[in-house]
């Protein structure tokens, strides 16, 4: 199983905070946002991770994550995406990295209270996505269930109400996803929509949808970024990290302190 974190984009809703850095490198409570999706993947046993970044911030990602997990046998690669062309484009960009393996993609600004380790480890084929009941359904890809709680329809940012269940930014696909993503036609806004992939697997009868029970934080605005930090503290999500990540961060911090002291001498 491979892992992809999508951390490109311009994050204009967070200007001027993102005028000098990537949204996913902003702090959420006691660490950068990017460590939360990393935790989701690493806790599930994923050791090969590709982070897709914008060119202007690639150096910052390399400085932070280039070697932080090396001694723990976690390999992190980076891929530069000059222009965002839709979430499904990640599987085209990452085709060589995926290399005919199953893959999990998580959006770099999505933070979850739930532990998805078993969902990911038990995955065999097809596709698996998740659903969370929301109030502002117009902002998301939406899944509609029938009376038997089986997914029957998926729509990207519907104009008319069809369901309150949004699809969070965590997706599990089998090894065929890159080939399928290549065939996806861009939407009216010129992007390869992730919901096109969902609908492909849905029509084939190979899509599973699980309900998210805990908090789901989409830290893309000033309010939701602040809310994310508060909820991470209140629910003590920061204490639920894989020990490997906590240890790596502590060691990285100590290295930075040593370097800073040498510069002062």
Q: What structural domains does the chain harbor?
A: 2-126+166-264 (3.90.550.10)
**In sequence order, what are the beta bridge partners of 49?**
3, 76
Rounded Cα–Cα distance for residues 257 and 238 (Å): 22
pLDDT, residue 11, reads 82
- Count CA atoms closer than 13 A to 205's CA, side-chain side: 0
Q: Are 110 and 180 in contact (CB under 8 A)?
A: no
- pLDDT on residue 219: 86
pLDDT for position 104? 98
CA 143 to chain centre: 19
pLDDT of residue 29: 96
Asked whether the beta carbons of 136 and 218 are under 8 A apart, the reply is no
Is there a contact between 158 and 193 (Cβ–Cβ < 8 Å)? no
CA dist., res. 214 & res. 237, Å (int): 11
pTM over 0.75: yes
- Select from 124, 100, 90, 78 the least CA-distant residue to 194: 90
Q: What are phi and psi of 113, to 5 degrees?
A: -80, -35
Can you count the helices (H) and strands (E) in the chain? 9, 14
| CB count in 10 Å sphere of residue 234 | 10
- pLDDT tens, residue order, the chain (265 aa): 999 999 988 788 899 999 999 999 999 999 999 999 999 999 999 999 999 999 999 999 999 999 999 999 999 999 999 888 899 999 999 999 999 999 999 999 999 999 999 999 999 999 999 999 999 999 899 999 999 989 999 999 999 999 999 999 999 999 999 999 999 999 888 889 999 999 999 999 999 999 999 999 988 889 999 999 999 999 999 999 999 999 999 999 999 899 888 877 6
Q: What is the phi/psi pair of residue 162, to 5°? A: -130, -20
Question: Cα 226 to the chain's mean position, in Å?
Answer: 19
């Amino acid at each position: 199983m491979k892992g992809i974190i999508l951390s490109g984009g311009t994050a204009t809703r967070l200007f001027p905070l993102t005028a000098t850095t990537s949204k996913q490198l902003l702090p959420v409570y006691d660490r950068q946002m990017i460590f939360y999706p990393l935790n989701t993947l690493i806790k599930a046993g994923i050791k090969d991770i590709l982070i897709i970044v914008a060119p202007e911030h690639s150096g910052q990602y390399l400085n932070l994550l280039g070697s932080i997990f090396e001694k723990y046998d976690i390999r992190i690669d980076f891929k530069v995406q000059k222009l965002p062309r839709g979430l499904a484009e990640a599987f085209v960009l990452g085709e060589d990295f995926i290399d005919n393996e199953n893959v999990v993609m998580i959006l770099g600004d999505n933070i979850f209270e739930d532990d998805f380790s078993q969902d990911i480890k038990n995955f065999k084929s097809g596709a698996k996505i998740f659903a969370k009941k929301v109030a502002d359904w117009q902002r998301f890809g939406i899944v509609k269930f029938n009376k038997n709680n089986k997914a029957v329809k998926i729509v990207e940012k519907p104009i008319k109400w069809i369901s309150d269940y949004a699809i969070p930014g965590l997706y599990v696909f089998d090894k065929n996803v890159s080939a399928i993503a290549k065939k996806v036609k861009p939407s009216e806004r010129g992007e390869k929509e992730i919901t096109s992939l969902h609908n492909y697997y849905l029509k084939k009868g190979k899509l599973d949808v699980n309900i998210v029970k805990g908090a789901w934080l989409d830290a893309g605005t000033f309010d939701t970024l602040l809310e994310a930090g508060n909820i991470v503290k209140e629910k003590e999500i920061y204490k639920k990290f894989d020990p490997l990540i906590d240890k790596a961060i502590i060691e990285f911090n100590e290295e930075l302190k040593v370097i800073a002291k040498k510069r002062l001498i």
